[in-house]
Amino acid sequence: MTRSDKDGVAGGFAAHTMDAAMLAARAQTVLQSTSDGVFFLDRAWRFTYLNAAAERLFDRGPGELLGLGVWDEFPAAVGSRSEIEYRRALDTGATVTFDDYYAPLATMFEVRAFPDENGLAVFFRAVDDDRRLRKQQEAHTQLTRAILDSLPAHTAVLTMDGTITTTNEPWDVFGARAGGDPALWTAGINYLEVCRRAADAGDLDAAAVLVGLHEVASGARESFSTDYECSSPDAERWFTLQAVPLVGLDGMIISHTDITARVLSQRRLTHQAHHDDLTGLPNRPRLLQVLGEAMANRDGAKDVAVLFVDLDGFKNVNDSLGHDVGDALLRDVAARFSAVVRGADIVARLGGDEFVVVAHDCDADAATQLADRLRHTLSEPFGIAGMHLPMSASIGIALGSNGSARPKDLLRDGDVAMYAAKDRGRDRSHVFSTDLGEAAHDRLALAADLRMAVRRGELFLHYQPIVTLVGGAVSEVEALMRWNHPERGLLAPGAYIGLDEETGMIVPISRWLLAQTLRQVAAWSRDGFEVAVSVNIAAQHLSVGHPARRRHRGPRRRWRPAPATHRRAHRVRRRPRPPRRSSAIGRPARARGSHRHRRLRFRLLIVGAAGHPARRRDQDRPVPGQVPRDRHLRYRRHRANHHRRRDLDRRHARNDHRRRRHRDHRAARGGGRARLHTRPRLPVRPADAGRRPARIAAPDLNSRRRWPGP
């Protein structure tokens, strides 16, 4: 070997020695920095090396255990599983792994022992923290599972690609009851693929769910919710699907909530809001909705017709037989109308006895034929309450082609046509026209002006003289009322008397008429002109009282008669009151007017009192027919009559008392038989028969209290 070869060998050995030292240093660094405890034992069971983690786990200082025996320092490990496993590793030369609990340190260790020719290399770590963490994770998992199972909604946890990882108990129970393929709803199935197959089959709800879940998975939206129907042949079911992403995790959670009860309740409330409770027909809001849709969908060739039906005489059925019978009759009428109309037509009830039929694709002739069928179906008597009740109806027909822009306008036109049918005799139909609508509008405007006619002084009177044919003298005059309308000019009573009766203005206008007539008669009487004036009064005054009676009266006090035992046997004859020369004589005249507006009129002859000198001295008496100037005059007259009756009763009581004293005096003396009277005798006890009775105190005639009598 040359020198150069020797130098090469020496250099290689030095390099190998340097590499081994560097490797040992690196191994030392790794062992010292690991979190697991590492110690070496020789075959005499002495510590030859401990890293910092092992000294910390053994609770010893650096280098404190080097060279010491393991069984001497840890006598509690003698006979333990650690000793057994260590000896087995040295004997067999195989690596062992085990867990052992060391009681003095109260710690569970996970141990791995590697035998070699020098002894054992032991790696160990405390597993209490790991077990505690695993227990916490298991508890958290159980809690999460319990929460999922407690939710009433069918809930599942999905990964972002749609794979089902966890389901709760309601999800599993519903899938089992549905009886479908478990591969469609159990864990491990891709839920998005199931939705994609259903969407390809034509399910629109599944297509919407698929789009929504993809948007949640991609982060395009924070949540997704939709309602869908999941019905079976046995029952109808509705669910709400909600999907939200899991916060901080790669996944999302979906839930299916059963909303069948809510959907059915909403349907029931919607039906009640749009249908009549009594007949089940659509009500006014639903009718307007349907009519609006029909008017919007019509074209030039198709028209929509509204038949406004009002039952004739239905109020008499309610008043005579009761509302229960009336309700039953309305239900039968609704059933007959629904059977007569076409399938596309709608029958609705507005309220009371009013029905509306909406006919699609219908002109005036077809609507008239439909109205005749409706009237014909009512002609057959209704068997209700043991009676056979025939009915009739007045029907107004309105077409959409008349220019009505809104459903309410079309209903108004039908209503106007219906009242026109009633005016023409009822039990018939009438088609609305533009002239009819203008007449109704003018009538309404005239009724509104009539209410202000009296206040604005637009009414005035004409007096038509009535002369005798023999001498040509004026026997009386008749008061005729006229209306000077500011826009229509002079109007005769025939133009507005019917409105007076319909609106109830006939009573205040008639009172104004009487007041004006009486003022004119009083003025003529003061001028010495005596004439009778006749006034036509509507029969409606009979229900509200005398037309000339004043509204405000004085206080009334009711006179109470004396008891029957205190009245005299004979009656006081009152002097008859002489008849007044000035009086109002009412005699009915014949009925005037058309066959519809028949009014019973009274002819009042009003005669003045200026030609009677004897009455001129009586300043307290007013002119007959006028309101007295003193509002308490009648009250003062009533009080005067009451005082006269009271004085008369006191006089009778005083005379009766005197007669009783005379009778008792004669009975005490025994002087003859006592005279019989109509008054009952005073009771006399047997012990007092021989003595004179005590004097009865005379009544106080100035007292307001009535004399009670014996």
Query: In sequence order, what are the residues at sequence separation of 6 or more whose Cβ sits closer than 8 angstroms to the Cβ of residue 372?
Result: 429
pLDDT tens digits, 377-417: 998 888 887 888 888 999 999 888 776 668 888 888 888 88
The pair phi, psi for residue 246, each rounded to 5°, is -80, 130
Is 604 among the domain residues? no
Determine whether 240 is exposed, middle or buried from the number of CB atoms within 10 Å of its CB (0-12, 13-18, 19+): middle
Q: Are residues 118 and 208 in the same domain?
A: no
Q: Are residues 260 and 295 in the same domain?
A: no
Is 219 among the domain residues? yes
Q: Are residues 356 and 418 in the same domain?
A: yes
* DSSP track, 374-397: HHHHHHSPEEETTEEE--EEEEEE
Among residues 390, 411, 432, the one where a domain terminates is 432
Angle between helices 260-274 and 284-297 (to 10 degrees): 90
Residue 366: give its domain's CATH number. Answer: 3.30.70.270
Q: Are residues 119 and 151 in the same domain?
A: no
Could you tell me the pLDDT band of residue 453, with boundaries at 50, 70 and 90? confident
Q: Are residues 161 and 116 in the same domain?
A: no
Is 356 among the domain residues? yes
Q: How many domains does the chain have?
A: 3
Among residues 410, 432, 454, the one where a domain terminates is 432
Distance CA 302, CA 324 (A): 41
Is 200 among the domain residues? yes
Query: In sequence order, what are the residues at sequence separation of 6 or more whose Cβ sits closer than 8 angstroms to the Cβ of residue 280?
Result: 334
Q: Are residues 293 and 260 in the same domain?
A: no
Place of tokens 């709800």: 205
Q: What does the pLDDT read at residue 244?
A: 92
User: How many CA within 13 A on the CB side of residue 645?
Assistant: 14
Could you tell me the pLDDT band of residue 700, with boundaries at 50, 70 and 90? very low
pLDDT tens digits, 86-145: 889 988 889 999 888 888 877 788 889 999 888 899 998 877 777 777 778 888 888 888
Is 671 among the domain residues? no
Is 257 among the domain residues? yes
pLDDT tens digits, 72-96: 888 888 888 888 998 899 888 899 9
In 10 A of CB 405, how many CB atoms?
9
Is 6 among the domain residues? no
Q: Are residues 161 and 193 in the same domain?
A: yes
Residue 200: give its domain's CATH number. Answer: 3.30.450.20
Among residues 400, 432, 464, the one where a domain terminates is 432
Is 119 among the domain residues? yes
Domain that holds residue 115: 18-126
Q: Are residues 58 and 170 in the same domain?
A: no
Which of 271-280, 530-539, 565-574, 582-591 has the weakest average pLDDT?
582-591
In 10 A of CB 252, how many CB atoms?
21
DSSP H helices, 461-568, are 497-503, 506-526
Distance CA 307, CA 347 (A): 9
